[in-house]
Every structure is written in C-alpha cells, then in structure tokens.
Chains A and B, each alone.
Chain A
Amino acid sequence: MSVTTKLPILEVNNLKQYFSLKKETLLSPKQTVKAVDDISFKLFPGETLSIVGESGCGKSTTGRSILRLDEPTEGEVLFNGVNMTSLNKKELRNMRGDIQVIFQDPYASLNPRQTIRKMLQEAMTIQKVMPKEQMEARLLELMSLVGLRPEYLERYPHEFSGGQRQRIGIARALCVNPKVIICDEAVSALDVSIQAQIINLLKGMQRDLDLTFLFISHDLSVVRHISDRVIVMYLGTIVEIADKDSLFDSPSHPYTKALLSAIPSIDEQHKKDRIILKGDVPSPIDPPTGCRFHTRCPFATDHCKKEVPALRSLSETHQVACHYAESLLNGQVV
C-alpha cells in the first residue's frame, strides 16, 4: 500500500519557531533561538511518522508548534486543508478535538487533584463528544481499551504506576475521538518491559481505530519498531526523510549514519563500524552557516560551510539534505 497516493491529513509548510532571549540594546545584539528553522513535511492518514533527533534538535518544538501550544513564528500547518495558524481561539479549540497529544511524563500532564473519571469527563464535555447520558458507557469502554480496570476511574493520578499513568494519558487523548495523535516521547520514561506493553497498545489502537501518529522520540530502536516513515532532525532543520526500511538500511545523511551507529546494541554482528562524532551539538542561538552539521561532519568541505543544502529527493520515498549524499551512498570519499 502506498501512502503517498492519498491526500495528507496534516501538512507542515516552512514552519519556523524562534524564541527571543534578549531585547536588542545598544551593547548587546538581539538573541534568537532558532528552535525550528524552516521545515516542511506531510503526514498521511493511517501512518506513523516519527521525528527523531537529539536534545535541542527541535523535535518537541515542532509538535508544540503544530498544536499551537507555542505560536509558530512563520509558516503554515494545514489540517485537512484548513490552515491552523490562522484560526481564532474558538475555532482552534474545536480543532484540538481532532489532534491530541500524549506527553513523556504523564504525571506532569495529569491534574493531580482530579480523579480519572473527572478528567476524562471534562475533556469530553469541552469537546462536546457526546451527550452526558452516554458518557458512562464510553468511559468504561475507554478504560478497557487501554487495559485499565473500571474501578480505577475513581482514583487519582498519584495512585498509579508510571505505565498505568501513561495508559491514562492515552485514554485522555482518545476520549475526544481524535484523528491524529502526537506522541511526544510517550514511552521514553518507561522501563523496557512496560515500554513494550505501551508500544503494543499504541499499535493495536492504530489498527483498530484508524489513527494517525506523529511519533516524536530520541530512541531509534522504538522508532524502527513503530514507524512507517521517519524524519531525522538536526539543530532545527530536517536532514533526512525516508520510509523506515530505506532509512535504517541505507541512511544517506552523515548525521543519520552516525546517529544509527552510536546506538548501543546487544547484537554481536552489528557492533563494528562505530562512527564517533567529535564535539557537541552547536548552539541554536547562532547556528553554523551552510550545512548545520558541517562542524561535526567527517566529510565536510568548504562548500558545506557556505551553502545550505536543500532537502532533495534521492528516490520517491527518500529525501536528504546533503550536498554529497549520492557519492557517500556509493561509498566514495569526498
């Protein structure tokens, strides 16, 4: 099944998210953090698209800007063709029923003074999902859907374990019948055995409820497991977009290669060929000129320092932002 033939459910065009640090004065220039700097991508119905990258690459900010939890500086976000960035508050509230979010730390995102029942009811009332009389049945259905006992509805968030809280976070996102769910590091804080349970739950729900996921994570093993397509971000820009198999089997951007090789693996065969990157990720306040990765890239040339590489297609399902992607793929040294 090719997803590309469908119309996108969510389209992000030239999204920019800048944060001002200091006002300009005579002595100090204005400082802006370019958290997300001109990114575009499409999300197709029914797929899981992942955004991966290291801390500070802008992956979470992207999620927040799409939801307008932070107002984007520039660019547009089209949901089913409607531009979300130009909606007023009321229209936006209606729209948010369709796009929900699950955060990393469910404890910080659940109101500690509300029972689970109250929390779910409130969300359903605000989004006018259904008349009050039908809610009870729906609540029970939701609890069984996420694998929690019905009597837990009367409990408070602190009475649950981390995995259970994440299930509640999922129930809260599901209760308004969304079409798209943004999962922001939704399984990162969990132990592996619990993480596996939640991943299976998410995959099962997607199959049964026809959901679309934007899955933001730093954990590439989880991403390989859950995604159809993957976006790799570095310092506020997209360096590579590809379908899962071609990204993991033939990564084309030097950063993606290094990132994949840096993952500790329990598999003996895959332990060779580690690429160790030098130095740290540069500051997004004053990002490097040209290709942002050139300061750490083992193949960087003068050309990389001057010219920003555009995101271009290698194949129908594979886009990369590197001047030398083809020659690197063929194993040539630039």
Chain B
Amino acid sequence: MDKEIVLQVKNLKTHFTTSKGTAKAVDGVDFTLHKGETLGIVGESGCGKSITSLSLLRLIPTPPGKIVAGEILLNNKDIVKMKEEELRKVRGNQLSMIFQEPMTSLNPIIPVGEQIAETIRLHQRLPRKQAWQKAVDLLEMVGLPSPEKRAKQEPFQLSGGMRQRVMIAMALACTPEVLIADEPTTALDVTIQAQILELMKDLQKQIGMSIIFITHDLGVVSEVCDQVAVMYAGQVVEHRNAKDLFKTPLHPYTQGLLASLPNIHENQQELQTIEGSVPSPYDYPIGCRFADRCPHARDICRAEAPDLIETGNSDTKVRCFMHTEKWETSVKEEELVCP
C-alpha cells in the first residue's frame, strides 16, 4: 500500500554561523510525509525540531542561519531551490504554519477577523466583503463561539485557547496541503489542549490535509500522529509508525525517553533517567551522537557514525548499529565508567 508522498525531506542541513563557530542545529534530517497523514517530530530542547520546521518554509534568518545542504520536495518541487516569488505562492497556499504562542504571531492592534481576511485577500484576490465573510465562516469552522462578534475583537480580548483557534483558522484560510504545527498546544491547559487536538483531527478529516506536528510531548504524539520522527542532536534517529514506536522503541534514545516519562496509570518507585547531557551543536562527536549516554555503546559507535536505515520493512527506519549486521561482529566495550 503505497500512499502518495506529499513532502519529502532529504539530508537537510541548517547551520548557524556565530562568533563561537558553526552550530549544526539541523544536521542531516530525513523524513517523509504522506497525504492525509500526521507526522510527529519529537525531541527535547535543542534537538533541532523547530529549526527543521522553519527550514521547511525557508523562514530561517539568514545570516546567521543557512540551509547548507539537502532537499525539501513538496510534490516533487524543491523548496530549497525556489526563488522568493515562487516561495510566496507556496507559503500559505500549500504549506502553512501555526506556532506555540499565538499572541506573538497575531497583530495585537488589528481585529482577528481582519487579519484572517487580509490573508484571504492576498492569496485569493477576493473582494473585501467576501473575504470578511469567509473569515467569519472559518472562525465558525474552528469552533469559536459567536464568530461574528469575536471577529471584530482584538487578540488580547480572547483567551489562549481562542487565540490558537484563530491561528488555526488563519492557517487553514487557503486550504493548504500541509500544515506545520510547531508546539501548538504546549502553552495551553490540558482541558483546552484536548479541545484543540480534537479540532485539528476533525479538520484534517474534513479538508484532507497532511500535518507535521512538532512537539516535545510524547503523550500528544501518541494521540494525534500516524508516523513519528524522533530527533536527537540535529538528526532523525528513529522514523516509524507511531503505534509500533510506542510499543517497541528501537533506538536506545527513544527507549530512554519513553522510560523517563512518569506514568499516570500506575505507581512507580523510581523514574529511569538518561545520564549525561546532549552534545554541543558546535562540536558533535565523530561517531554516534548518543554513544556517550547510551547503555549499549560499543567501540564501533564511537568510531563510525550510523546511518538512518530501514530495518524490517520500509516503514521502519532507525539510526543505530544495534540493528545492523555490524553489531554482531563488533567488540563489546568494557563496562562503562559511570559519570
């Protein structure tokens, strides 16, 4: 069952040049997004997930940042190579984005309905009145109570949940093929988060768009995502079907991440932790970037960098020597000295 591929990212590298050197924030990211599916990109602070999402829309401030390598294929057209004019057509129409804090992405002194209508006028060249009506319809679609009245209000008059609904309405104004949602519910309370997640799932069914859902919250991922890409130190370390990933994580980092989550359904004595800390993006080790924190690391892990390769079926990719033939022949390291 081969589904249609909407977006494919190959070996994407976004680096930042600063006075301290080159920070390899995104350093070889690969993933595939199918039509109508939701792909979760998860990882901890600094793993490069937000920079990846900004790179997709070419929103990286240049300088200091720059996409130095890789391809972003949207329906087989490479976004990396597009001219500014082409890009403007893609943004909003085919690819659109919602951010974590709606207050900073909305204009504070313009009524929200007007802001949505402006987007519609720019992209679809509708007359003012029709654009306004469409904005109100959109607000109704995202479940804002009394949309006629709310459309005339400024962002500060709305609650956090309502503002995020407005952002979603704006992002959906031109029925994009791909919606990139960067931590869209992180700033919201759980009961409001549940409302917004439900809304996004419903809208996806209605419109048939694909979603890239960027979050640090594994619980949210398992609620909404079909596929998951786990990122660590600027790379994807595991790219799989969400159900399988949560059932049998393959990469030691994913395993550690899942084990360190407190479980709400049972009592535990001690939480498992991942010892050590993430390597600096200015100076990654030659070998596997997780080797220093990995309980299974062997000599080969420090000498060579593993590739993201398929194991089993084409849906499962993991970046770890444990799942290659090399593992059997590699020498086991002496018991690691605890830091």
Question: Chain A residues in contact with chain B, CB under 8 A?
Answer: 54-55, 161-163, 191-197, 199-200, 203, 218, 220-222, 224-225, 244-245, 248, 258-268, 270-271, 274, 276-277, 279-281
Q: Which residues of A contact B194 (CB under 8 A)?
A: 261-262, 264, 274, 276-277
Given contacts A262-B191, A280-B159, contact A193 B264 (CB under 8 A): no
The answer, yes or no, to whether B103 is at the interface (CB within 8 Å) is no
Q: Are B264 and A195 in contact (CB under 8 A)?
A: no
Q: Which residues of A contact B277 (CB under 8 A)?
A: 161, 163
Q: Which residues of A contact B243 (CB under 8 A)?
A: 268
A-B contact pairs, 24 of them (CB 8 A): A54-B190, A54-B191, A192-B218, A192-B257, A193-B256, A193-B260, A196-B273, A200-B270, A200-B271, A200-B273, A221-B262, A225-B271, A259-B191, A262-B193, A264-B219, A264-B222, A265-B223, A265-B265, A266-B261, A270-B265, A276-B195, A277-B191, A280-B161, A281-B189
Q: Are A264 and B193 in contact (CB under 8 A)?
A: yes
Best-surrounded residue of A194, A225, A244, A259 (most CB of chain B within 10 A): A225
Bound Cα distance A270, B266 (Å) = 12
From residue 267 to 288 of chain B, which have CB atoms closer than 8 A to chain A? 267-268, 270-274, 277
Interface string of B175-204 (1 = CB under 8 A from A): 000000000000001111111011000000
Which residue in B161, B223, B261, B270 is a CB contact (below 8 Å) of A221? B261
Q: Are B44 and A259 in contact (CB under 8 A)?
A: no
Bound Cα distance A276, B190 (Å) = 10
Bound Cα distance A20, B189 (Å) = 25
Q: Are B261 and A192 in contact (CB under 8 A)?
A: yes
Bound Cα distance A200, B265 (Å) = 19
Q: Are A197 and B273 in contact (CB under 8 A)?
A: yes
Given contacts A200-B270, A264-B219, A280-B159, contact A193 B262 (CB under 8 A): no
The answer, yes or no, to whether B263 is at the interface (CB within 8 Å) is yes
Q: Are B193 and A192 in contact (CB under 8 A)?
A: no
Bound Cα distance A189, B265 (Å) = 23
Chain B's closest residue to A283 (CB) is B159
Q: Are B219 and A266 in contact (CB under 8 A)?
A: yes
Which residue in A191, A199, A224, A262 is a CB contact (below 8 Å) of B216? A191
Q: Which residues of A contact B221 (CB under 8 A)?
A: 266
Best-surrounded residue of A224, A225, A266, A274 (most CB of chain B within 10 A): A266
Q: Which residues of A contact B145 (CB under 8 A)?
A: 279
For chain B, the count of residues having a C-beta within 8 Å of the partner chain is 43
Q: Are B197 and A193 in contact (CB under 8 A)?
A: no
Bound Cα distance A280, B158 (Å) = 10
Q: Which residues of B contact A222 (CB under 8 A)?
A: 262
Q: Which residues of A contact B218 (CB under 8 A)?
A: 192, 266
Q: Are A280 and B192 in contact (CB under 8 A)?
A: yes
Which residue in A54, A260, A266 is a CB contact (below 8 Å) of B189? A54
B233 to chain A, nearest CB (A): 13
Q: Are B263 and A277 in contact (CB under 8 A)?
A: no
B80 to chain A, nearest CB (A): 30
Q: Are B44 and A262 in contact (CB under 8 A)?
A: no
Bound Cα distance A247, B161 (Å) = 27
Given contacts A192-B44, A221-B264, A222-B262, contact A263 B190 (CB under 8 A): yes
Bound Cα distance A323, B165 (Å) = 34
Q: Which residues of A contact B271 (CB under 8 A)?
A: 196, 199-200, 225
Bound Cα distance A163, B276 (Å) = 11
Q: Which residues of A contact B260 (CB under 8 A)?
A: 192-193, 195-196
The answer, yes or no, to whether B305 is at the interface (CB within 8 Å) is no
Best-surrounded residue of B223, B261, B274 (most CB of chain A within 10 A): B261
A278 to chain B, nearest CB (A): 8
Which residue in A162, A218, A221 is a CB contact (below 8 Å) of B263? A221
Q: Are A245 and B273 in contact (CB under 8 A)?
A: no
Nearest first, the 9 A-B pairs at minimum CB distance are A264-B219, A54-B189, A196-B260, A225-B262, A191-B44, A196-B271, A262-B194, A193-B274, A266-B222
A-B contacts besides A192-B44, A264-B223, 4 pairs, CB < 8 Å:
A221-B261, A225-B271, A261-B194, A276-B195
Bound Cα distance A263, B272 (Å) = 21
Bound Cα distance A55, B187 (Å) = 10
A310 to chain B, nearest CB (A): 24
Bound Cα distance A200, B270 (Å) = 6
B263 to chain A, nearest CB (A): 7
Which residue in B160, B220, B257, B263 is a CB contact (below 8 Å) of A264? B220
Bound Cα distance A318, B262 (Å) = 24
Q: Are B195 and A191 in contact (CB under 8 A)?
A: no
Q: Are A276 and B198 in contact (CB under 8 A)?
A: yes
The answer, yes or no, to whether B162 is at the interface (CB within 8 Å) is yes
Q: Which residues of B contact A270 (CB under 8 A)?
A: 265
Q: Which residues of A contact B45 (CB under 8 A)?
A: 162, 191
Q: Are A225 and B219 in contact (CB under 8 A)?
A: no
A139 to chain B, nearest CB (A): 22
Q: Which residues of B contact A274 (CB under 8 A)?
A: 194
The answer, yes or no, to whether B294 is at the interface (CB within 8 Å) is no
Bound Cα distance A302, B258 (Å) = 45
